[in-house]
Structure 1
């Protein structure tokens, strides 16, 4: 299955108290993302504050986003955890909700061996009929899914690719050896263009919440051979790619969305709102793309 090149790691909209998911705001957000270049919605990932979402909230999110997308975009559910049994159970429930694929993060905190990682992902993938994308983000999980492990996992029919937040060097070596139909997505907006240059497929993006169309244009320029145009857009986008991560994600992308008139509410504890100077910095960076704001 082709999930496209611009996938958005969607925030979870809360009411002003942060206590409840705001379903009306969710509808507005989905419409905004569909209209600005998103081809697949990735629900309940880290950007969606999955650690603070209750199990029931995740299931309802999966169900509602599938309904709201109405086939205009695909939907990937973030179901990975550091508990294999729980990951399988959530993955099966997500499949019943009608999602199109699963995003499976490397088990965090318990730091399994490479064989443990292989058995974890293999067991989860074989429990469902959906395409699965590995999520390698050593900075958050303290474990790297090594190239050899990913190559073994690529032999499993429904493990179709990886979201990489490691290094360009690792991505380069992985793509040099992986099957041609194993796709690699950038997990960090600022590495998107370099990743495309070494054979990557696209991005699972945070910045696409607010600059989705320019990101799509940059990718289109690259694949059409308009490299200088792609580089120019990359350079213009880089400040906002970096600015959104001046504090822990998704505090600033939520601030950015609220600022441009797509209300998504606050973050949940233990995350807190960005400090005022960082909010002002994001407002300044947005002016290039939203001059009226």
Structure 2
């Protein structure tokens, strides 16, 4: 299954009471697919504030996304957690709702060994029949899925890709050693072009909420052999890549979307909205 080069980890829009705004959920999907050229959407990932969404909200989000996408973009459900049994439960429910694939984050806080990581992902993957994408983000989970563990997991038939934020050295090792057809995505917007240069397939992005078209253009320039133009575009986009993460995600990108007239509301505690001064900085990124 092809998830495309530009995958957006979609925010979850809230109303003024911080309830999920279901009407706006569909509008954000349309905006990301039609305007920002997202090939696939991750629903209820960290950018979607999965830690503060209830299971009911997650399942309703998966259902709403599948129904509204109508095949225009692949729907990838964030169903991973630090509890293997619950991850299996949520993954099975997501599969029933018709999602195209699962995104499974490395277990956070309990920090399993590499063998524990392997067995965790293997157990979840074997509980479903749809494709599975690993998600390695050591800066958030305090555990790294080592390259060799990812390579080992790539031998499991329905583990088809990874979103890895551990840097180009690890990406290079995975690209070189993984099973045929296994695809590597960077999860760091600023690493999109460097990752492509070492053989990654694409990016699972946050910045694509607001500069998706520009990112797709940069990716296409690189793929067409126009490396100099791609590098120029990378340089132009780099301040936005960095600026959207100067405060915990997704508060900055939600502010940027609201600024553009795409109403997505605020963030749930323990996250807090950006201040007025911080908002002025975000606005300056697009001036």
User: Could you tell me how far 1:176 is from its partner in structure 2?
Assistant: 1.4
Contact 1:17 1:266 in 2 (8 A): no
Confirm or deny that 1:281 pairs with 2:277: no
Alignment match, 2:178: 178
CA–CA separation in structure 2 for the residues paired with 1:278 and 1:227: 34
Corresponding residue number in structure 2 for 1:50: 50
Which segment is superposed worse, 257-266 or 171-180? 171-180
- Contact 1:246-1:278 within 8 A present in 2 as well: no
SS of 1:271's partner is: coil
SS at structure 2 position matched to 1:41: strand
Alignment correspondent of 2:269: 269
The reply on whether 1:29 has 2:28 as its aligned counterpart is yes
Residue 110 (structure 2) aligns with: 110
- Name the CA distance, whole Å, in 2 between partners of 1:179 and 1:222: 24
Q: Answer whether contact 2:152 2:178 (CA < 8 A) is retained.
A: no
Q: Partners of 1:164 and 1:67 in 2: how far apart?
A: 29
Count matched residues: 286
**Equivalent residue number for residue 210 of structure 2:** 210
Contact 2:84 2:120 in 1 (8 A): yes
RMSD over aligned Cα atoms: 0.7
Distance in 2 separating the partners of 1:113 and 1:74: 32
CA deviations over 1:199-239 (Å, ceiling 9, x no partner): 00000000000000010011100100010111111111101
Separation of aligned partners in 1, 2:118 and 2:178: 16
Tell me if 1:146 matches 2:146: yes
Q: Distance in 2 between matches of 1:276 and 1:139?
A: 27
The CA deviation at 1:268 is 0.3
Q: Which runs of 4+ in 1 moved over 2 A?
A: none
Which runs of no fewer than 5 residues in structure 1 stay unpaired?
288-293
Structure 2 residue aligned with 1:14: 14
TM-score of the pair, normalised by structure 2: 0.99
Structure 2: how far apart are the matches of 1:115 and 1:72? 38
After the TM superposition, which residues 213-252 of structure 1 pair with which residues of structure 2 at under 5 Å, given as runs?
213-252=213-252
3-state SS of paired residue (1:46): coil
Q: Partners of 1:192 and 1:10 in 2: how far apart?
A: 18
State the shift of 1:175 in Å.
1.1
After superposition, the C-alpha distances for 1:6-45 in whole angstroms (9 at most, x for unaligned) are: 0000000000121x10011111101100112101010000
- Pair 1:123 & 2:117 matched: no
In structure 2, C-alpha distance between the alignment counterparts of 1:148 and 1:39, rounded to whole Å: 29
In structure 1, what is the Cα distance between the partners aligned to 2:218 and 2:127?
37
| Distance in 2 between residues matched to 1:235 and 1:169, nearest whole Å | 21
Secondary structure, in 3 states, of the residue corresponding to 2:185? strand
Deviation at 1:179, TM superposition (A): 2.3
**8 Å Cα contact 1:8-1:204 kept in structure 2:** yes
Q: Are 1:192 and 2:200 matched, yes or no?
A: no
Distance, in Å, in 2 between the alignment partners of 1:180 and 1:214 is 30
Secondary structure of the structure 2 residue equivalent to 1:225:
coil
